[in-house]
Amino acid sequence: MRFLLKGLLRDRSRSLLPVIVVAIGVMLAVFARGYINGIMVDMIEQTARFSTGHVKVMTAAYAENMDQVPNDLALLEASQLKADLLKTFPDVEWVSRIKFGGLIDVPDENGETRSQGPAMGIGLDLFSGDSREAARLNLDKSLVRGALPGTSGEVLLSEDFSRKLGVNPGEDVTLIGSTMFGSMAIHNFTVSGTVRFGNTGMDRGTVIADLFDVQQALDMDDAAGEIFGFFKSGYYDDEIAGPVVSAFEDKFGNEEDEYAPVLVRLRDQEGLSLYVDLTSLMGAIIIIVFMVAMSLVLWNAGLLGGLRRYGEIGIRLAIGEDKGHVYRSMISESVMVGLAGTIIGTACGLGLSWLMQTYGLDISEFTKNATTSIMMPNVVRSRITPPDFFIGFIPGVLSTVAGTMLAGIGVYKRKTAQLFKELEA
């Protein structure tokens, strides 16, 4: 091995090109995995924070009509149910929410309608000391004008929506909607500030209010449309969600009562199962693609190198070196080249991933007309995970060895009679 290493270092024509090819391939594989993994995880987590949670509790009847947000089928005695969930699943953070729709009316100085617009509303726990809802939805950093709600009766509007309505922080607006029991709901709020979510769908018309204010406005005393559960790890994980679902069904399940609570995983909502599966498979797909491509490139490089080393191999065979030994020494050289290229490529790939993870890439121009239920963030980032530190060794080393093995088959085709003719020439 020491002899082979010296040969590679002294004859750069045998090692430089393969190392560069491996380094570039591994760099692209590591960066592509981190980039795509970041996009997939960001889409899933942004959807989880705003729409699905990692797991979600609601009534069975509500779950059947989830897309319609039927608050008349909401959970009653939500505070007690939330306390039971916290006791049963202490490793999951549970928060109550109410989603609602309605019309936001902006009055003029005479109390007459100045402007109106349809809105999608979210009732969050903003004022209790143990709630992290404002931080989870990144409201502080998303604030454009004004301030976050500080007292009861204050709401946030999305910045684009407030501009469309011509309403500024400090002005009053009226929510016109429907109560839990089907009657008309009219409730006045004060706009405390405006936010930009970075999601085109939500920026068009979103209202965020405190949960208690929404309960009063919609006549939903101690009720909640949904109770979201978030894993302490901060990311959705099927291996955690599965046992939670089983334990929940054992304790709270009641198939005969349509108002009994049911728990739904993130992957079972809004067609997210495909995205969750793709996230776990993306690393393997990228490795296979790059390994096949790099093997073909290195095979060609090995063939060219073999032609250049034709005389060297012939002399080694002529002096009695076994064909198998020559073949194995070429494979050993390829392992060294693969390791060197992989280390360099992994370092470069992680560096690019870190830059993308830190600064991100603004793709807001491409998401202006997004209508999908999957919330695509306007700034995409890579996500470096522990496998990224060693995943490049699979395509880097294996493809190099595979390329050398394919190119080195010609060693066994050398004939002794032809060999002496070549040496005489």
Residue with tokens 């795509």: 36
How confident is the model at residue 421, as a pLDDT?
A: 59
Rounded Cα distance, 242 and 254, in Å: 18
* pLDDT at residue 173 in the model: 94
Q: pLDDT value at position 176? A: 93
pLDDT score for 373? 38
The pLDDT score that the predictor gives to residue 67 is: 83
DSSP H or E run through 34: helix 12-47
Please, what is the end-to-end C-alpha distance for the chain in angstroms?
Answer: 32
Instruction: Note the pLDDT of residue 416.
Output: 61
Q: What angle do CA 212, 122, 78 make, to 5 degrees?
A: 50
* Residue of 140, 120, 141, 39 whose CA lies nearest to 377: 39
How many CB atoms neighbour CB 323 within 10 A? Answer: 15
Q: Which residues are registered as beta bridge partners of 146?
A: 193
User: What's the pLDDT score for residue 61?
Assistant: 92
DSSP 260: S
pTM: 0.72
Output Rg (C-alpha) for the chain, integer angstroms: 31
CA 3 remoteness from chain centre: 47
Domain range list for the chain: 2-46+274-424, 55-233
pLDDT along the chain (425 residues), means of 10: 67 74 86 82 82 91 88 91 92 92 90 90 86 84 89 92 92 92 92 85 88 93 93 85 90 83 88 77 75 73 63 75 81 84 91 88 60 53 84 81 77 64 58
Dihedral of the alpha carbons of 123, 126, 131, 136, in degrees to the nearest 10: 70
pLDDT, position 371: 40
Contacts of 125 (CB under 8 A, 6+ apart): 95, 96, 97, 131, 133, 210, 211
Residue for token pair 């903003």: 126
- In sequence order, the 6+-apart residues with CB closer than 8 A to the CB of 7 are 14, 333
Mark 144-162 as b/e (b = at least 16 C-beta within 10 Å).
bbbebbeeebbbbbbbbbb
DSSP secondary structure string, 222-247? TEESEEEEEETTSS--HHHHHHHHHH
Task: Tokens for 408, please give them.
Answer: 């080195």
Q: Give CA torsion, residues 222, 226, 231, 237, to 10 deg.
A: 160
| 113-124 and 92-107 strand pairing | antiparallel
99: which 2 tokens? 């989603």
